Structure 1
Amino acid sequence: MKRKSLSRQIYAYFLIVIVLSLVSVGAVSYWQSSRALDDQVKQYMEQMVDSANYQTDSYLQAYELLSNAFSSNSDVRAFMEIKPDDAYEYYVYSDKIKKFALASVESIVTLYKQLNMIYVTGQHGRSVIYENQNLFNFDPVLVQEKYTNLMKLTPSDGKIALLNMSIRAVDKGSVVTMARKVRGPSYGDENRGVVAIEIKLDELAKTWDRVNLGKEGFFFIVDDAGNYIYPRAMSQRNPQDELAARVLGSGNQTFLYKYNGEERMFVSRKSGYSDWNLVASMSVDELRRPVNTIRTTTLVVGLATLVIALWLSFRFGRSIIAPIRWLKDSMRETEKGNWQYIDGIGRADEIGGLIHSYNLMVTRLSHMIERVYEAELEQHKNQLELGETKLERQKAEFQALQLQINPHFLYNTLETINCYAIVQNSSEITEMVEAMAFMLRYSVQTNLEEITVANELNHVRNYMIILQHRTEREFEIDVAIPPSLLLEKMVRLTLQPLIENIFQHAFPDGVEAHHMIRIDARKEGGLFQVFIEDNGVGMPAERLAELRQKLEENRLAEPEEAVGGSKRGGGIGLMNVHRRIQMVFGEAYGLSVDSERGRGTCVTMTMPETVRPRLRGEGWAER
């Protein structure tokens, strides 16, 4: 089976993560920004149209007041009842109406400065016309010709009608007519005529021209009949064409429509006062121009980021794979019996630690093998008389044995030493070798079987056996752990380093008869706690505060701390044990220290409570 390159796998995973991240972030940001821009432009256009609509309605309502004054004037209503051939009555009422118009307009000249003309026409065929600032009286027949159309287009209930018409051809397209029917003197009479006010669109056009829709945008007005009111250039279009029909059928909704071969957005609002539909239009291409810019920028930045990220991932992969390959090649040479060392190149990370551990293992194995060979050669010196042939055969066997050395050779060597001790009837050596073998086997195991309190206590017992032989002093540890807690789970090699640190630092002047080490445990609140307490020299307050701060910060890379004293270094280290507990059970667990100068130290090891059921027949010690 072809092996997969780890560097290629790392590079592929980096590529997948980077591409997925860039694509997802770019797509979501582009989609969100384009939608936000579309909504913002649409909202802007709606606000512009609503503002123009409001100002237009306010402007027209001012002229409605003037129309109300004329339609309710008694002279105007009486004028509707004169006889067609009575010249005197026509003169009297027309003069009164003109004076009323002049007084009304001049009283608020600034309000009605865009007034083009006012005319009153009745069904009898007679008309009165007032042109703004002039009592202009042209042929009334011009008005009468439109009387039939005015009566048809004006509501019978007396409401205002805005008409796109004028009595003079020259004013067509530049004015709008506000007309309403007028009854006779009696309120029960039927409609007898029409009052019409022609308003110039110049002032309103200033309001409409302020609708800023960009270079390619425009604004126009369509009435309910499909006639184009504004701008003047569009008034030449045919009423009820396709664009006007789409506006009237949109129902104040935004819609897209292809106008003059270009896709455009139209925002329509119907006036609440008149029957006009105010419409703003912008090109879709112009609307999407910022979105296209965002898309282009996202693509360029994404590609540049991808190239840089791939280059960094390549460098990162090489920094990991190269030391692993060196270690792999060196282990192959070691398997052949060639002790191969690796240059760590000053690395301080985990890979540097792995290389350091490998070099240390090779050094120790080579030294131990040399010592075993020396012992075996010394033993066989007495057999030199057996002949050169036998000696050469033994050397050949030794060389073959050297080529077959592996990490398990150390266990076999210790067993050999134990056999010699048994033969020589040395119980001390046997006890020490057995304890050392158990400790080594327990220390180098890397499988993930559960480690219990009983296993750790057994490891401490073996350590104490060796320590007592080394110091030639008896010392007992007070173990007060209840039997029900012996099968609680722990982290491998956490208890013995703390005991070792106590011997090295809590009793700097040696172990005395009054010295004590006590191990206790309890379960409370879902936690399992192990207490290691001594009555040694303790720590000063400032040293204890510094140690507690480092435990909180997990400063594992600094020189390791000793338990029970102010000296640094020694053993596996307190910080090492604390961090390994956290790596197994989580950041909420680990070590805590309480100490008082001259009264001793107590280290508390906190772990989660075991939830599995206890099994019958579980052993106390691990072999």
Structure 2
Amino acid sequence: MRRKTLSKQIYMYFLIVIVLSLVSIGTFSYVQSSQALDSQVRQYMEQMIDSANYQTDLYLQSYELLSNAFSSNSDVRAFMEIKPDDAYEYYNYSTTIKKFAEASVQSVVTLYKQLNMIYVVGQHGRSVIYENQNFFNFEPVLDKNTFDYLMKMTPGNGRIALFNMSISKVDQGSVVTMARKVRGPSYGDANRGIVAIEIKLAELAKAWDRVSLGKEGFFFIVDDTGKYIYPSSMSNRQAGDELSALVLGSGNHTFIHKFENEERMFVSRKSSYSDWNLVASMPVEELRRPANTIRTTTLIVGIVTLAIALYLAFRFGRSIVAPIRGLKDSMRETEKGNWQYIDDENNRTDEIGGLIHSYNLMVTRLSDMIERVYQVELEQQKNALELGQSELERQRAEFQTLQLQINPHFLYNTLETINCYAIVQDSREINEIVEAMAFMLRYSVQTNLEEITVANELNHVRNYMIILQHRTGSDFEIDVAVPPSLLLENMVRLTLQPLIENIFQHAFPDGVEPHHYIRIDARKENGLFQVFIEDNGVGMKPAKLEELRMKLEQNRLAEKDEMKGARRGGIGLMNVHRRIQMVFGEAYGLSIDSKPGQGTRMTMTMPQTVKPKLRGREQQGT
């Protein structure tokens, strides 16, 4: 099996992290930008189509006013009652109506160019037709079939109706007709005829042409029967086809449809006035072109960034692995008895530089120690010859004791060396145990009782739990409910871990079960800071609890004589209690509440912000 080097592992980890980061950021930015652009384009198209819808309704309403004027005109209403063969009455009313039409149209300049013709026709078959700007040498005639169609399709309640038709064959497809039924002179009479106004779509289309939809976008109108009103290029499509059915079914919503082998977005708005459906369409590809540009740019930037990051990762990995390899080679030489030092040419001040310095210091001390041991051994051999065999044995025992008196700094360096070997050998379990043991040892040998933070104590408990889990082979988690605002509150060193250890030794004598828990909480109230350690173990009997409370009230550390015959758990609780008092005063300490079968609650009570009294006493003693 091919051995994995540390440099390759670092490089692979960097590669995974960088690729995941770039892919995540690129995908997220592309999706978000695409959605934002789609939303903006959709809003823009909706605003344009709403504006066109509003302009169209406003435009048609002006013609409705003209239609109202004609339908309510007394001459128009009287024309509906003339006899079919009365030539004089027909001439008289037709002349009057044409003059009224000309005056009405010329009074409103905006209607002049857009109006194609106005015609009034009654049930008697006679009609009056006014052609605006007539350049044709023929007289349009309204046949009976057209009249019957208009009478049938126009509402009888006085509302207008719009038709895509013209009585002139030349104007078919280029005008829209607005029709309204007209009653006779008496308001009680039934509808007698039709007033119709033909409007040029070319002029009306100027408002629609303002809808800017890019090079590939277009605008069209479908009436409520599915017939295409505008533009003329769409009029050859069959009424009620798939596209018009989707428009009529969508109402005022947006939909995507494949039109002429191209996927397009359609935004539809139905006019409540004309019952027309105004629709704007743009290709989806054109809509998403900016998003595709963003995607391409993101991809290029991501590739360049990845290349630079991999190069930096390679350099970073080499800067870490190279000194570790040198340290490994030097340690192999040291194993052979060659005390080889590592030259730190760059005078590194980081962790690796500290490791090199510690290694050199360890080699120096080991060399001196072995030299001293060698000298002592020679002296012991001489003394053994003089003092005899018993004295020689005693000297050997003292020599063995001397060998064990390695200072903590050497032990830290040794643990760090073991940790390096664990990292190089990719042994996660040894790495975790050694790191936890090193932190606990470094934390424990600081013998002063000065305050530290709750976070420090929790970290010490975490290292203890790591070692405990590897020793027992079972996982168990402690529920830490301390509010974040209290993590920097002061407390006494090495008070929390002994209480946790006491719980594991006494609260769960039959082993830790899934329903068991240990909870750590804290609060500040009335100038006091309290830390609670609670479990749901076997609890204490009342007699045992009372005995333990009496010992806590004696306010003293456990004596050596007591330690010989007492269980370690009680000693740990008393020492925690007394050490809190030695730092903060006699008013504080440890209190215990417990019920058999329900668990135990231990409370450490300390002031919020008070300088430790032990410091003051030491200053006074000095």
TM-score, normalization by structure 2: 0.64
1:84 and 2:84 correspond: yes
* In 1: Cα distance, 2:274 partner to 2:105 partner: 23
Q: What is the CA-CA distance between 1:50 and the residue it aligns to?
A: 0.8
- Comparing 263-272 and 144-153, the one that deviates more: 144-153
Correspondence for 2:569 among 589, 612, 615: 615
Q: How does 1:57-96 map to 2 (within 5 A)?
A: 57-96=57-96
Which amino acid letter does the alignment assign opposite residue 8 of structure 1?
A: K
Name the residue aligned to 1:333: 333
- Comparing 128-137 and 118-127, the one that deviates more: 128-137
Q: How does 1:384-463 map to 2 (within 5 A)?
A: 419=398, 440=407, 444=411, 447=437, 457=447
Q: What is the CA-CA distance between 1:252 and the residue it aligns to?
A: 2.4
Q: How does 1:22-41 map to 2 (within 5 A)?
A: 22-41=22-41
Q: What is the CA-CA distance between 1:303 and the residue it aligns to?
A: 2.1
Name the residue aligned to 2:367: 366
Q: How does 1:207-606 map to 2 (within 5 A)?
A: 207-345=207-345, 346-377=347-378, 419=398, 440=407, 444=411, 447=437, 457=447, 527-528=490-491
Name the residue aligned to 1:398: none
Which amino acid letter does the alignment assign opposite residue 94 of structure 2?
A: S
* In 2: Cα distance, 1:340 partner to 1:66 partner: 110
- 2:178–2:196 contact (8 Å) kept in structure 1: yes
- 2:211–2:219 contact (8 Å) kept in structure 1: yes
Deviations 1:22-73 (A, max 9, x none): 1211112111111222222111111111110100100110110000000011
Q: What is the CA-CA distance between 1:349 and the residue it aligns to?
A: 1.0
Q: Kindly tell me: are residues 23 and 529 of structure 1, through their superposed partners in 2, closer, same or farther at Cα, counting changes over 3 Å?
A: same
Q: What is the CA-CA distance between 1:383 and the residue it aligns to?
A: 11
SS at match of 1:313: helix
SS at match of 2:166: coil
Q: What is the CA-CA distance between 1:237 and the residue it aligns to?
A: 2.7
SS at match of 1:238: coil
Which amino acid letter does the alignment assign opposite residue 225 of structure 1?
A: T
Q: What is the CA-CA distance between 1:187 and the residue it aligns to?
A: 1.3
- Comparing 4-13 and 328-337, the one that deviates more: 4-13
* In 1: Cα distance, 2:24 partner to 2:123 partner: 74
- Consecutive unaligned residues of structure 1, counting only runs of 5 or more, are 386-414, 421-432, 461-478, 482-487, 492-523, 531-606
- Comparing 310-319 and 71-80, the one that deviates more: 310-319
SS at match of 1:119: strand
Name the residue aligned to 1:121: 121
- Comparing 127-136 and 342-351, the one that deviates more: 127-136
SS at match of 1:615: helix
Q: Kindly tell me: are residues 319 and 250 of structure 1, through their superposed partners in 2, closer, same or farther at Cα, counting changes over 3 Å?
A: same
Larger Rg: 1
Q: What is the CA-CA distance between 1:337 and the residue it aligns to?
A: 0.9
Q: What is the CA-CA distance between 1:203 and the residue it aligns to?
A: 2.3
Which amino acid letter does the alignment assign opposite residue 570 of structure 2?
A: R
* In 2: Cα distance, 1:454 partner to 1:162 partner: 94
Q: What is the CA-CA distance between 1:214 and the residue it aligns to?
A: 1.0
* In 2: Cα distance, 1:321 partner to 1:245 partner: 70
Deviations 1:84-108 (A, max 9, x none): 0011111221122122212212222
- Consecutive unaligned residues of structure 2, counting only runs of 5 or more, are 387-393, 416-436, 452-456, 461-486, 494-528, 536-567, 577-622
Which amino acid letter does the alignment assign opposite residue 211 of structure 1?
A: V
* In 2: Cα distance, 1:56 partner to 1:252 partner: 16
- 2:50–2:269 contact (8 Å) kept in structure 1: yes
Q: What is the CA-CA distance between 1:608 and the residue it aligns to?
A: 10
* In 1: Cα distance, 2:459 partner to 2:168 partner: 105
Q: Kindly tell me: are residues 328 and 129 of structure 1, through their superposed partners in 2, closer, same or farther at Cα, counting changes over 3 Å?
A: same
* In 2: Cα distance, 1:246 partner to 1:142 partner: 35
Q: Kindly tell me: are residues 281 and 438 of structure 1, through their superposed partners in 2, closer, same or farther at Cα, counting changes over 3 Å?
A: same
SS at match of 1:25: helix
Q: Kindly tell me: are residues 455 and 235 of structure 1, through their superposed partners in 2, closer, same or farther at Cα, counting changes over 3 Å?
A: closer
SS at match of 1:187: coil
Name the residue aligned to 2:478: none
- 1:452–1:489 contact (8 Å) kept in structure 2: no
Q: Kindly tell me: are residues 238 and 609 of structure 1, through their superposed partners in 2, closer, same or farther at Cα, counting changes over 3 Å?
A: closer
Q: What is the CA-CA distance between 1:208 and the residue it aligns to?
A: 0.9
Q: What is the CA-CA distance between 1:525 and the residue it aligns to?
A: 11
* In 1: Cα distance, 2:458 partner to 2:241 partner: 86
Deviations 1:263-287 (A, max 9, x none): 2221111112102111111112212
SS at match of 2:165: coil
* In 1: Cα distance, 2:287 partner to 2:459 partner: 66
SS at match of 2:157: coil
Q: What is the CA-CA distance between 1:343 and the residue it aligns to?
A: 1.2
* In 2: Cα distance, 1:72 partner to 1:143 partner: 24
Deviations 1:488-509 (A, max 9, x none): 9999xxxxxxxxxxxxxxxxxx
SS at match of 2:84: coil
Deviations 1:226-279 (A, max 9, x none): 222111222233322332222222222222222222222211111121021111
* In 2: Cα distance, 1:325 partner to 1:280 partner: 69
SS at match of 1:347: coil
- Comparing 277-286 and 150-159, the one that deviates more: 150-159
Which amino acid letter does the alignment assign opposite residue 272 of structure 2?
A: G
Supply the RMSD in Å over aligned alpha carbons.
3.9
Which amino acid letter does the alignment assign opposite residue 170 of structure 2?
A: V
Number of aligned residue pairs: give it: 447
Q: What is the CA-CA distance between 1:156 and the residue it aligns to?
A: 1.9
* In 2: Cα distance, 1:307 partner to 1:332 partner: 37
Deviations 1:429-479 (A, max 9, x none): xxxx98x9768258736535867999655xx8xxxxxxxxxxxxxxxxxx9
* In 1: Cα distance, 2:185 partner to 2:137 partner: 25
Which amino acid letter does the alignment assign opposite residue 347 of structure 1?
A: R
- 1:254–1:266 contact (8 Å) kept in structure 2: yes
* In 2: Cα distance, 1:376 partner to 1:318 partner: 45
Q: Kindly tell me: are residues 455 and 324 of structure 1, through their superposed partners in 2, closer, same or farther at Cα, counting changes over 3 Å?
A: closer
* In 2: Cα distance, 1:240 partner to 1:319 partner: 74
Q: Kindly tell me: are residues 263 and 72 of structure 1, through their superposed partners in 2, closer, same or farther at Cα, counting changes over 3 Å?
A: same
- 1:217–1:283 contact (8 Å) kept in structure 2: yes
TM-score, normalization by structure 1: 0.64
Which amino acid letter does the alignment assign opposite residue 123 of structure 2?
A: Q
> Share of identical aligned residues, percent?
69
* In 1: Cα distance, 2:105 partner to 2:152 partner: 28
* In 1: Cα distance, 2:224 partner to 2:373 partner: 111
* In 1: Cα distance, 2:117 partner to 2:188 partner: 29
- 1:258–1:264 contact (8 Å) kept in structure 2: yes
Which amino acid letter does the alignment assign opposite residue 527 of structure 1?
A: N
* In 2: Cα distance, 1:306 partner to 1:3 partner: 27
Q: Kindly tell me: are residues 525 and 172 of structure 1, through their superposed partners in 2, closer, same or farther at Cα, counting changes over 3 Å?
A: closer
Which amino acid letter does the alignment assign opposite residue 207 of structure 1?
A: A
Q: How does 1:141-160 map to 2 (within 5 A)?
A: 141-142=141-142, 144=144, 146-160=146-160
Which amino acid letter does the alignment assign opposite residue 333 of structure 2?
A: E
* In 2: Cα distance, 1:489 partner to 1:306 partner: 39
Name the residue aligned to 1:99: 99
Q: Kindly tell me: are residues 379 and 227 of structure 1, through their superposed partners in 2, closer, same or farther at Cα, counting changes over 3 Å?
A: closer
Q: What is the CA-CA distance between 1:168 and the residue it aligns to?
A: 1.1
Q: Kindly tell me: are residues 101 and 323 of structure 1, through their superposed partners in 2, closer, same or farther at Cα, counting changes over 3 Å?
A: same
SS at match of 2:156: coil
Q: Kindly tell me: are residues 43 and 612 of structure 1, through their superposed partners in 2, closer, same or farther at Cα, counting changes over 3 Å?
A: closer
Name the residue aligned to 1:403: none
Q: Kindly tell me: are residues 382 and 61 of structure 1, through their superposed partners in 2, closer, same or farther at Cα, counting changes over 3 Å?
A: closer
Q: What is the CA-CA distance between 1:173 and the residue it aligns to?
A: 1.9
Q: Kindly tell me: are residues 233 and 528 of structure 1, through their superposed partners in 2, closer, same or farther at Cα, counting changes over 3 Å?
A: closer
Q: Kindly tell me: are residues 80 and 456 of structure 1, through their superposed partners in 2, closer, same or farther at Cα, counting changes over 3 Å?
A: closer
* In 2: Cα distance, 1:197 partner to 1:441 partner: 107
